[in-house]
Amino acid sequence: MIKQIKNNFLIKNTIILISANILIKILSLVNRIIITRSLGTNGISLYVMILPTIMLLLTISGFSLNISVSRIIATNQKTNKYPLITIIKKACLIGIYSTLISLIIFSLTLKFISVNLLKQENAFIPLLLSMTIIPFANLNSIFRGVFNGLDNVKTSSLSTLLEQIARIGFSVVLFVIFYDKDLVFTVTITIIAMTLGEIASVIYNLISIRKLLKNTPFINLTKEEKINTKELNKEIINLSLSQTLTHLATNIALFLEPICYNYALTLNNFTNDEIMYRYSEVNAYALPLLTMFTFISFSIGTVILPQISKNKYSEKAKSLTALAIKLSFIPSIILSILLYFYSDKYMYFLYNKTTGSTFVKYSSFIYMFFYLIPIINSILISHNKEKSVLKISIGTNIIKIALIIALSFIKSITYKSLIYAIIISNIIYLIITFIYLYNILKFKIKLKDLITLSLIFISTYYVVYLFKYYNVNFIISSILSSIIYLIIIKLSNIASFNNK
């Protein structure tokens, strides 16, 4: 088996990414517990209210250079059309321009966003300091795109791991030192820690890039190479623009989420404090628990993208697609079952309160299928279907925003409109993209595998049910159930490494 893993790029690289992300998740979870418990409801509510704005800024300024650079370098390994150092230099130059433009626009609109849209004057200072994250995050994005394009996921993973360790370390230290400060200051600490984490990662990436380009001379380009460089600029910009527009559809929707939710519930006579609490109930407590293992799907998608870019519409692309879809269910099945039976236990264990646990319980099985979304997106992107993904994303996000407002006026739903809108829009998005992907590739998932996955789900469900029925401690139950689940996976051969 070890030999098979070494010879299988997908399994090998995915294991590297997943291993790094497991460490990141564990450390991030500890950090999140400390912050959530210490900030309290008001503090974490403010944090989750400003986070969509920060993510929107990162998306615009980042210009999706990580994906475009990864794809260009992956393709360039076959064609050798551009020198590697030229690709990096051009990407960095475009990144500088996008950073400067974004920061200027954001600085001019920051006050309006804080006071008039979010209706939170306390959000101004944390959002102002979030501007320091941008240049370092953009550099890291480009460097990781380089390493992913070269199939060097180890360096890319270590870069992310270092960023998270530094962020968590600085966050904890700063929070302990300034524990008795006011709400705005303590929320701002999390922003400062994010910047310091990005700086640590930039230093590591610069060292790694220097080693990579150690024997690459900074040559003067010929006239023909200069023409190719202009083509490279266009290629980077075109790819980045389409990717950014796709991401913007999601990030603008996330940005509008708290604004529309606030507006709708205000019309339903909810107080500002109630709105903040209900919003954090979903975004600070329920969703993080439901999406705990989505990093595995993102890891698979990140590894697949460069490889499928080299083998578009081929049998290899079809087999990789089927394998990736199958692998995405491995973590989601056990997580959904455990959350269904022990959502309140997990929530109290992590955050010392059961806020959002009801949402988690009744959404857990639906979210099991949402683990497919990152993989489907990556495969569609690798087949140059960015425009189609963009159209679908825009449509479903419009539906989500509309549902947030419309459902809030139904008496039996009101404040639950946010979670309902998120679930419904994700279901629509998943169905449309899955059918679209199938029509493109005509990939096959064996009936045997579908039956096996169903039997694995049913058997694991009843294992956890029995532990719950006999009042076994939820931690012991979770550990034993996971061990039994892994044994079932092994015996079923559903995660076989034989797919080359």
pLDDT digits (tens, 9 = 90+) for 439-459: 988 888 888 889 999 999 999
The pLDDT tens digits for 68-126 are: 888 888 887 777 777 888 888 888 999 899 999 999 999 999 999 988 888 888 889 99
- CB-neighbour burial class of residue 107 (10 A; exposed 0-12, middle 13-18, buried 19+): exposed
pTM of the model: 0.78
pLDDT at 227 over 80: no
Q: Are 36 and 347 contacting, i.e. CB atoms less than 8 angstroms apart? A: no
The pLDDT tens digits for 297-343 are: 777 766 666 667 666 777 777 877 888 888 888 889 999 999 999 99
Angle at 103 between CA 99 and CA 107, to 5 degrees: 180
Tokens of 382: 């690798």
- Taken in order 496, 149, 245, 285, the sign of the CA dihedral is positive
Q: Does residue 498 or residue 476 have the better pLDDT?
A: 476
The pLDDT tens digits for 154-166 are: 788 788 888 888 8
Measured distance CA(483)–CA(334) in Å, rounded = 10
Percentage of the chain exceeding pLDDT 90: 34
Mean pLDDT of the chain: 84
Residue 21: band (very low, low, confident or very high) from pLDDT cuts 50, 70, 90: low
Report the pLDDT value the prediction gives residue 219, as an integer from 0 to 100: 47
